[in-house]
Structure 1
Amino acid sequence: MAARRTGARSGDGAGDGGGHCRMDARMRQHFTFDCAGETLTATLDGADGSSGLLIVSGGNEIRSGAHAGMAALAAAVAAAGHPVMRYDRRGIGDSSGGNAGFESSADDIAAAVLAMRARVPSLTRLVAFGNCDAASSLALYGPAAGIDALILANMWTLETESDEADETEAAATMTAGAIRSRYLAKLKDPRELWRLASGGVNLGKLVRGLRQATAKAQVTGLAARLGQALAATPLPTKLLVAEHDRTALWFLEHWDSEAFTPARANPNLTMARLDSGSHSFASAYDKAWLRERILEALGH
């Protein structure tokens, strides 16, 4: 795959959402650090606490996040007393190099950890947060990078042909659990029962749907690797799930499978569920819920 650069330029304007969440210059710092011969660009929201947060961006998002969501989150967590660092991985935003996708980000994560510890020498505990494929990369590479705890939201578990997680790919296919919920709802609807009794239902389609509903999740490839990583992780790890998000539904389908039994038995893992379908925690309530879960992990 040819190396490529992705994402808008993300300096003081685009990278931190323009006029959104501006802080005193001595509090919000911009700097660079080295990673495998390339230069990565980062933003640090300063605070006095010794427990800090490293935000790893998902997909091909720049460090400010969608609609400056990660910049706003960083400002809020820093205001609560915890330093927060964000960065663009290689080939994204202001960072040099080629974008090789989230599964090639082990060096980026390790370099970011070193950079944050060097930038904040008073740091005694480092928690890393990622959403979607950033959560997957942290599950795979975080324990070896010098991180103390993980927060993994809506973890990406699907194999893709491209080099980035695509939420639309998850949305294109319903999980077996979602199909079961759909059919249960239909069975409770008198009109649907009448359609079935009167021949108004395509029986071939019904049979195919029932087969899908009873199918077991096939845990191979990336999902299998994530299951093994979660089972083995020694780090306190908080799994966050927006219960109606398709990416999260696929994760839950794998989570409930036999292959993830060792992961479910790992005492280092806890799960918090949010009654939401927002992949990026977009509403004010979702944002507040996410912030509280992160502050809990930071020991606030």
Structure 2
Amino acid sequence: MKRLAFSFECQGARCGATLDSAPGTTGLLLVSGGNEIRAGAFNSQARLAAEIARAGFPVVRFDRRGIGDSEGENREFRRSRKDIATALHAFRALALQVDRVIGFGNCDAASALMLAGGAECDGLVLSNPWTIEDGEDDTPPPAAVRSRYVEKLKNPRELLRLASGQVDLKKLARGLRQASKKQSAPSSLAGEMREGIAGFAGPIRILLADADRTAQVFAERWDAEDPRIRRCSGADHAYSSTEASAWLRTQILEALRG
């Protein structure tokens, strides 16, 4: 496996990218979330790319326009379709043996892939998709809060903390008010994402980290019976524990081998 830095042009702007080479004919296009550079937080995406490449699958990461090593205006995730599709074309041109590409994104990178209708990828792995509108409160949805309080009531230590006055009553009151609501407000963004992948013909996996607020909000705004959903119990947004990281890697490798 070799790591190669390269660049491609997207509507007149040079974009920085990295290829982790491997002999496989299926590749992974790793889309960055938020305004993160392609290495990811604490180099997490670079490490993931290396692990996937060691398993035999080439991986391309890139900085969309206006981020990291890339020129141009930062158009945010809602308007990144062209960046993703152009990175995919560059991937195919550089790794000529690749005839199938799976797109992977966490948080609003997953949302970007959905809004772009898959951005010409052959399959998608969508992790903790972002469905929270600009300016909207990102507190956990009512169902998640209720579940959390049920678990606390089963724990004798938590009951002792409450009885001994160690619990912030104002915070508790806010939580109870949130738990009393029926559900989160609807999201037009979730609707746009649903429409975006409605006509996508390739396989899709939706990965949800159960302890992550973004995933909890998505779950409440999506079809709970969607068979494409897979959950990682206790995982945080970044799958930072050893167990969660291994689970994420397994999910991606299964999609690549599918």
TM-score range, shorter chain: 0.7 to 0.9
Deviates more, 1:218-227 or 1:146-155: 218-227
The yes-or-no answer on 1:278 pairing with 2:227 is: no
The yes-or-no answer on 1:67 pairing with 2:60 is: no
3-state SS in 2 of match to 1:217: coil
Aligned positions of 1:1-300 closer than 5 A? 27-143=2-118, 145-161=119-135, 170=138, 173-185=139-151, 209=176, 212-255=179-222, 260=223, 264=225, 270-299=228-257
After superposition, give the CA deviation of every residue in 1:134-175 in whole Å (9 maximum; x if it has no partner). Answer: 0000111143x321000000111101249xxxxxx63xx121
**Structure 1 residue 235: Cα displacement:** 2.2
**Structure 1 residue 119: Cα displacement:** 0.9
Deviates more, 1:280-289 or 1:48-57: 280-289
* Contact 1:242-1:278 within 8 A present in 2 as well: yes
> Pairwise CA RMSD of aligned residues?
2.9
- In the alignment, which residue of structure 2 is the partner of 1:7? none
After superposition, give the CA deviation of every residue in 1:109-152 in whole Å (9 maximum; x if it has no partner). Answer: 11011111111121111001000000000111143x32100000
Describe the shift of the 1:215–1:108 C-alpha distance in structure 2 as closer, same or farther (beyond 3 A): same
After superposition, give the CA deviation of every residue in 1:217-265 in whole Å (9 maximum; x if it has no partner). Answer: 322321221233344432210011110111111111112xxxx48xx56
**Structure 1 residue 187: Cα displacement:** 5.8
* Contact 1:177-1:213 within 8 A present in 2 as well: no
* Contact 2:143-2:179 within 8 A present in 1 as well: no
Larger radius of gyration: 1
Residue identity in the other structure for 2:126: L
- In the alignment, which residue of structure 1 is the partner of 2:166? none
CA separation in 2, counterparts of 1:210 and 1:188? 20
**Structure 1 residue 290: Cα displacement:** 1.0
Residue identity in the other structure for 1:149: G
Structure 2 unaligned regions, length at least 5: 164-168
Structure 1 unaligned regions, length at least 5: 1-22, 163-168, 197-201
Describe the shift of the 1:151–1:211 C-alpha distance in structure 2 as closer, same or farther (beyond 3 A): closer
Residue identity in the other structure for 1:221: S
CA separation in 2, counterparts of 1:230 and 1:206? 39
Describe the shift of the 1:184–1:284 C-alpha distance in structure 2 as closer, same or farther (beyond 3 A): closer
| TM value normalised by structure 2 | 0.87
* Runs of 4+ off more than 4 Å: 185-192, 205-208
3-state SS in 2 of match to 1:75: helix
Residue identity in the other structure for 1:253: E
3-state SS in 1 of match to 2:109: helix
* Contact 1:109-1:142 within 8 A present in 2 as well: no
| TM value normalised by structure 1 | 0.75
